[in-house]
């Protein structure tokens, strides 16, 4: 038996435990791993020279496939280049198994080449670290080696998922002799059987009664993978208890929950707009008594700060396992369930069918401060008389009881709320729905105003309207993800959203999208990115694998334009040189180097002409560079913010 048989068995263990994709970066010390993975019949291996890009491409593969992906690198600083993606995977809960080749232990700190201290290389940003035995001649060592790899994969995929390192000391010789065939033994593996926690019936009853008896219940979803089971359960829950549900674009709550899903009933997504309204009456009307959250981070700083200030009496977070963050400084209960199971278990479903009343039909001005109602005049469902009774925007008006029942309904679900409960819940639901409808109307009117200067905010609005169905939309950090969260996505469109919001760094955004494009070759993958993030990660394209489904929309304002939009840096004389990252690069050379079809636009007319061709399936891998002026972008965005702030004050 080969002295490297235990190493050669690693791909077999991976294959048996469901890992089908490996991203490796070439090197000498990792040669035994490289050869073993490359020759295994059930493993797809891709080579990416830059380890930082390789790790993010692996992350994109795992993110899209929702299962672990393996990474292989050589010894020394190669593994350190994985660190940004490891941190992102840890906080975004994405399973990666990192096989880092290493020198044998006796050569650490002995001035040998490509040798660093690799044990526990990622520290607190990995779920765990394992050290493979340096010598596996003994049967117990072989058993130990097999067990380690099984445990590492199980730990990576165990909720909350994340990255796990397996450090593998290797001695020469690294390569098989000429003509020598590798043997993949059918090794014994340890499988993890996933569990879904359930609560005792008495506890569920207690939670259900609390939700039913509390009039001001708000559900907020953080970043979450698209999940039909969750979408259905959440819609039914919201209808049963007449509860507003709010989610950023990265929560993927905007997706249709069923083929016949009424888009008027989708969760609210324009909180970045209406939360910027400085009217005390609106903020008071939206204040929850019970906040129920699930998922990970929020993009919306306005919503985050509002909930911290609102201080609900109760805050429940739904998460089956792992540490829970007290993001809003109000956490009172952690419910250990899958969110889909929680919302399904707490929902009453009767056999009767109620008349469906859509969101826009459910609005009137009776439950919101009169100044707010007056300002929502663009919503045709609001009473016309509200304009005549508009009061000062700073006044917090009392909320009279609604004049009739107003419900969100779901087919085949009945209402179990008594009249008093229904009245109280409707009074809380209405201002949320009114604010959402106003924000949607406001955005549509503002973004379509004539005679605009060419700017990236409007350019992105127009591009999002034309996204192909079934798109996997990747949003790079900085302004790209913020623009998309403000604007939202076209109603009824199947667009799944991905973003590296675990650490929210710009490094690796392009590589992650490329990993997604490789994982989902039958779906359009669109990356919306800024110039700094794009040029920082150009090595993402340095590989030999076609991605004809990839489309990159690049916002090039020749600067880190976000700093012109943030109070603090934009008032400083050092803005342009030390904050904006001024650069004069264009992406045409990058497109040519990596065989991407290139589109360049600098006007709305050019954009409108390019978008249909850019998105066409036959165009292949393409890059659309939207060149704008950073001061113009900042000025237009400030106009948007000013109009949001004043639109409720007339």
The domain defined by 4-169 carries CATH number 3.40.50.970: yes
- For the domain with range 206-348+412-433, which CATH number is right: 3.60.40.10, 3.40.50.1220, 3.90.1200.10, 3.40.50.720? 3.40.50.1220
Residue 575: other Cβ atoms inside 10 A = 18
pLDDT value at position 262? 52
Cα-to-chain-centroid distance, residue 516:
13
Q: What class is the 449-647 domain?
A: alpha beta
CB 98 within 8 A of CB 156: no
Report the b/e string of 511-529 with b at 16+ CB within 10 A. Answer: bbbbbbbbbbeebbbbbbb
What would the pLDDT profile of 102-148 be if each residue is shown by its tens digit?
A: 998 887 888 887 888 999 999 999 999 999 998 888 889 888 999 99
Inter-CA distances, 287 with 74, 284, 294, 369, Å: 54, 5, 18, 13
pLDDT band for 497, please (50, 70, 90 cuts): very high
pLDDT value at position 265? 57
pLDDT band for 355, please (50, 70, 90 cuts): very low
What would the pLDDT profile of 399-426 be if each residue is shown by its tens digit?
A: 333 344 445 555 434 457 888 888 899 9
Cα-to-chain-centroid distance, residue 301:
15
- What sign does the dihedral 354-356-359-365 (CA atoms) show? negative
pTM over the 0.95 mark: no
Provide the 3-class DSSP secondary structure of residue 625: strand
Residue 364 predicted with pLDDT over 60? no
pLDDT over 70, % of the chain = 84
Residue 1 predicted with pLDDT over 70? no
* List of residues 6+ apart from 71 with CB closer than 8 A: 22, 23, 24, 54, 55, 58, 82, 96, 97, 98, 99
Asked whether this chain's domains 4-169 and 206-348+412-433 adopt the same fold, the reply is: yes
Domain ranges of the chain: 4-169, 206-348+412-433, 449-647
Residue 380 predicted with pLDDT over 60? no
Residue by residue, DSSP assigns 416-474 as ---HHHHHHHHHHHHHHHHHHHHHHHHHHHHHT-SSPPP-HHHHHHHHHHTPPTTEEEE
Q: What is the side-by-side strand order in the sheet with 290-294? A: 245-247, 217-221, 290-294, 314-318, 333-335
Inter-CA distances, 19 with 9, 38, 62, 217, 525, Å: 14, 14, 10, 42, 23
Residue 145: other Cβ atoms inside 10 A = 23
């Amino acid at each position: 038996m080969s002295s490297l048989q235990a190493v050669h068995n690693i791909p077999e263990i991976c294959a048996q435990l469901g890992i089908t994709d490996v991203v490796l970066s070439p090197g000498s010390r990792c040669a035994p791993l490289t050869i073993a993975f490359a020759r295994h019949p059930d493993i797809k291996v891709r080579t990416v020279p830059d380890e930082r890009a390789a790790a993010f491409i692996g992350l994109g593969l795992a993110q899209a496939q929702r299962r672990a992906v393996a990474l292989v690198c050589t010894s020394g600083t190669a593994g350190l280049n994985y660190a940004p993606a490891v941190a992102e995977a840890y906080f975004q809960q994405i399973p990666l198994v990192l096989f880092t080749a290493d020198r044998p232990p006796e050569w650490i700190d002995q001035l040998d080449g490509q040798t660093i201290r690799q044990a526990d290389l990622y520290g607190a940003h990995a779920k765990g670290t394992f050290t493979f035995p340096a010598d596996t001649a003994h049967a117990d060592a072989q058993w130990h080696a097999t067990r380690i790899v099984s445990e590492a994969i199980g730990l990576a995929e165990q909720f909350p998922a994340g990255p796990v390192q397996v450090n593998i000391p290797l001695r020469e010789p690294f390569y098989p002799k000429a003509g020598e065939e590798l043997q993949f033994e059918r090794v014994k593996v340890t499988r993890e059987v996933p569990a879904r926690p359930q609560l005792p019936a008495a506890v569920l009853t207690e939670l259900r009664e609390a939700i039913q008896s509390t009039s001001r219940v708000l559900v907020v979803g953080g970043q979450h993978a698209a999940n039909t089971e969750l979408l259905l359960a959440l819609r039914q829950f919201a209808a049963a208890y007449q509860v507003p549900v709010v989610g950023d674009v990265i929560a993927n709550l905007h997706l249709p929950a069923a083929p016949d899903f009424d888009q008027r009933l989708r969760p609210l997504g324009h909180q970045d707009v209406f939360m910027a309204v400085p009217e005390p009456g609106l903020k008071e009307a939206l204040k929850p008594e019970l906040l129920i959250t699930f998922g990970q981070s929020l993009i919306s700083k306005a919503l985050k700060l509002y909930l911290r200030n609102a201080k609900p009496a109760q805050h429940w977070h739904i998460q089956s396992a792992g540490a829970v963050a007290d993001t809003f400084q109000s956490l009172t209960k952690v419910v250990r369930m899958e969110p889909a199971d929680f919302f399904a278990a707490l929902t009453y479903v009767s056999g009767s069918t109620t008349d469906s009343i859509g969101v826009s039909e459910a609005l009137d001005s009776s439950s919101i401060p009169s100044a707010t109602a007056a300002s929502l005049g663009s919503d045709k469902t609001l009473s016309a008389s509200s304009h005549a009774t508009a009061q000062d925007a700073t006044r917090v008006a009392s909320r009279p009881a609604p004049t009739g029942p107003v419900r969100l309904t779901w087919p085949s679900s009945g209402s179990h709320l008594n009249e008093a409960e229904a009245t109280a819940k409707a009074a809380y639901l209405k201002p949320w729905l009114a604010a959402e409808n106003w924000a949607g109307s406001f955005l549509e009117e503002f973004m379509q105003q004539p005679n605009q200067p060419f700017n990236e905010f409007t350019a992105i609005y127009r591009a999002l309207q034309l996204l192909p169905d079934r798109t996997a939309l990747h949003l790079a950090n900085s302004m790209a993800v913020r623009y998309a969260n403000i604007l939202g996505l076209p109603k009824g469109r199947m667009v799944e959203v991905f973003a590296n919001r675990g650490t929210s760094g710009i490094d690796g955004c392009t590589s992650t999208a490329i990993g997604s494009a490789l994982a989902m070759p039958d779906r359009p993958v669109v990356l919306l990115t800024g110039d700094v993030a794009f040029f920082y990660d150009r090595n993402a394209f340095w590989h030999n694998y076609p991605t004809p489904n990839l489309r990159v929309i690049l916002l090039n304002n020749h600067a880190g334009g976000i700093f012109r939009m943030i109070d603090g840096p934009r008032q400083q004389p050092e803005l342009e040189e030390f904050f904006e990252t001024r650069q004069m690069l264009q992406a045409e050379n990058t497109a040519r180097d990596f065989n991407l079809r290139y589109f360049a636009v600098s006007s709305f007319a050019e954009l409108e002409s390019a978008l249909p061709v850019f998105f066409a399936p036959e165009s292949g891998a393409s890059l659309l560079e939207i060149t704008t002026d950073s001061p113009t972008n900042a000025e237009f965005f400030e106009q948007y913010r000013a109009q949001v702030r004043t639109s409720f004050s007339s």
